[in-house]
Amino acid sequence: MRLIVDRDRCEGHGVCESAAPDLLELDEHGDLVLLAEGELAPEHRQQAADSVVICPVAALKLEG
């Protein structure tokens, strides 16, 4: 399972960062940075799922 960011949709609200602090952060420009790219570790899957649900512009999705 991988977490995917649609950079065209992302508006940098940052609520996903609060749901998945081990996986996501906003940089100094307000751009979302994936801290864990590729296959998610089992202990990060719930955070990833929470971030997908909480994103106000549906810019995140889980794949795989």
pLDDT at 37 over 90: no
What mean pLDDT value characterizes the chain? 95
Q: What is the pLDDT of residue 45?
A: 97
Domain containing 21 equals 2-63
Residue range 37-42: average pLDDT?
Answer: 93
Q: Helix (H, G, I), strand (E, B), or coil: what is residue 41?
A: coil
Number of domains in the chain: 1
What's the pLDDT at 36? 84
> What is the mean pLDDT of the segment spanning 26-43?
93
Question: What is the domain-level CATH number for residue 18?
Answer: 3.30.70.20
Query: If you average pLDDT over residues 26-35, what whole number do you get?
Result: 94
Q: What is the rounded distance in angstroms from the CA atom of residue 1 to the CA atom of residue 38?
A: 8
Interior angle at CA 56, CA 60 and CA 38, nearest 5: 15
- The reported pLDDT for the residue numbered 1 is 95
